[in-house]
């Protein structure tokens, strides 16, 4: 029987990683809203974020701030490349939904393997943003990085809100998500908005990756678990809603942390995936109506 301390400790850890899932989930939503596509390669951005940052720090000796400042735009560029090279031509040719999903999955594997070739399969990590810690509250240890995650998470949510409500581009993106044809008629450059969505989504993933790496590690293959967890977060939160995805991520993170206490670390992914299946089956059309996920992406 796990002790209260263990449970509290796992809850604290769960909140941290859950926020990360939430950020990845928001990344899913941003792309889905703009294009009607679920990008199965979403997790790869998290991996790239941690990986680039670590390499920049360890091999070029850059300070963390600089490393992050280079990493995030770099990963955003990777997102844009994915949109331009894969998604756009497929949409243009009226590809089926499953074909596009498959292509994004293939892109994920391709990026993973290239990373493997380039950087090897050694897990990598870098220290917390601020040295010291953990903070002790009674017997529960709270790492300083958790505060960074919470703080940056909150900042990002505010920034996203401002972006979607206060900027022209953000508002145009929202218009696309409500009705792409109408947005097109209003003169919104829908194609460019998709590029923005992929960049934004990839950037979010990269930030998530940078934030989470000090608490665990990054390796070429961490993308899939983060991607799947982010997707689960998005689904729990009612696909398409940023706030919901964040809440869903927190819930999932906590559930997963408890599962680790109860079942052991080995089965944490099985637990998360089972949550996914249960949520999908109880809410086969999503938790909120209005998002027809079964629809074809593009009809000629």
Binding interface with other proteins (CB under 8 A): 38, 40, 86, 89-90, 93, 95-103, 105-107, 109-110, 113-114, 117, 224, 228, 231, 235, 266-267, 269-270, 273-274, 276-277, 280-281, 284, 286, 293-296
Least Å from the CB of residue 299 to other proteins: 8
Between 113 and 192, CB nearer to other proteins: 113
Residue 241 CA to residue 139 CA, distance in Å, equals 37
Complex with other proteins: residue 120 or 127, whichever CB lies closer: 120
In angstroms, rounded to a whole number, what is the distance separating the alpha carbons of residues 122 and 115? 11
Q: Are 249 and 22 in contact (CB under 8 A)?
A: yes
Q: Which is nearer to other proteins, 153 or 240 (CB)?
A: 240
Cα torsion 215, 218, 223, 225: sign:
negative
Q: Kindly tell me which of 228 and 255 has the beta carbon lying closer to other proteins.
A: 228
Distance, in Å, from the CA atom of 108 to the CA atom of 116, rounded to the nearest integer, reads 12
* Shortest Å, Cβ 52 to other proteins: 19
Q: How far is the CB of 64 from other proteins (least distance, A)?
A: 31
Q: What is the 3-state secondary structure (H, E, C) of 229-268?
A: HHHHHHHHCCCCCHHHHHHHHHHHHHHHHHHHHHHCHHHH
- Taking the complex as a whole, the smallest distance from the CB of residue 91 to other proteins amounts, in Å, to 10
Task: Identify whether the C-beta of residue 23 lies closer than 8 Å to the C-beta of residue 204.
Answer: yes
**CB of 114 or CB of 155, closer to other proteins:** 114
171/296 with CB nearer other proteins = 296
Alpha carbons 119 and 108: distance in angstroms, whole number: 16
Token pair, residue 208, equals 């998530």
Measured from the CB of residue 33, what is the shortest distance to other proteins in angstroms? 13
CB of 106 to other proteins, least distance (A): 4
Residue 166 burial (CB count, 10 A)? 9
> Which residue, 4 or 274, is less far from other proteins as judged by CB?
274
> Rounded to the nearest whole angstrom, what is the least distance from the CB of residue 294 to other proteins in the complex?
3
Q: For residues 118, 212, 149 and 229, what is the CA-based torsion angle, rounded to 10 degrees?
A: 110
How many whole angstroms separate alpha carbon 245 and alpha carbon 233? 5
């Amino acid at each position: 029987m796990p002790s209260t301390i263990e449970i509290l400790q796992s809850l604290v850890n769960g909140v941290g990683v859950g926020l990360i899932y939430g950020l990845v989930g928001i990344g899913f939503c941003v792309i889905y809203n703009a294009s009607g596509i679920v990008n199965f390669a979403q997790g790869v951005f998290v991996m790239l974020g941690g990986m680039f940052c670590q390499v920049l720090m360890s091999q070029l000796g850059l300070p963390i701030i600089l490393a992050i400042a280079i990493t995030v735009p770099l990963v955003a560029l990777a997102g844009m490349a994915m949109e331009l090279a894969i998604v756009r031509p497929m949409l243009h040719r009226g590809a089926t939904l499953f074909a596009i999903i498959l292509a994004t999955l293939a892109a994920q594997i391709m990026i993973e393997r290239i990373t493997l070739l380039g950087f090897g399969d050694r897990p990598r990590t870098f220290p917390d943003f601020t040295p010291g810690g953990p903070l002790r509250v009674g017997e529960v240890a709270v790492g300083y990085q958790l505060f960074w995650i919470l703080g940056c998470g909150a900042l990002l949510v505010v920034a996203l809100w401002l972006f979607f409500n206060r900027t022209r581009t953000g508002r145009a993106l929202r218009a696309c998500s409500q009705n792409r044809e109408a947005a097109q008629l209003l003169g919104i450059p829908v194609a460019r908005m998709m590029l923005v969505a992929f960049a934004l989504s990839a950037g979010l993933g990269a930030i998530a990756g940078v934030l989470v790496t000090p608490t665990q590690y990054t390796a070429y293959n961490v993308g899939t678990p983060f991607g799947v967890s982010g997707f689960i977060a998005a689904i729990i939160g009612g696909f398409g809603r940023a706030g919901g995805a964040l809440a869903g991520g927190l819930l999932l993170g906590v559930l997963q942390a408890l599962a680790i206490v109860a079942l052991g670390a080995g089965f944490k992914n099985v637990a998360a995936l089972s949550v996914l299946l249960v949520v999908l089956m109880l809410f086969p059309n999503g938790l909120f109506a209005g998002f027809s996920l079964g629809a074809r992406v593009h009809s000629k």
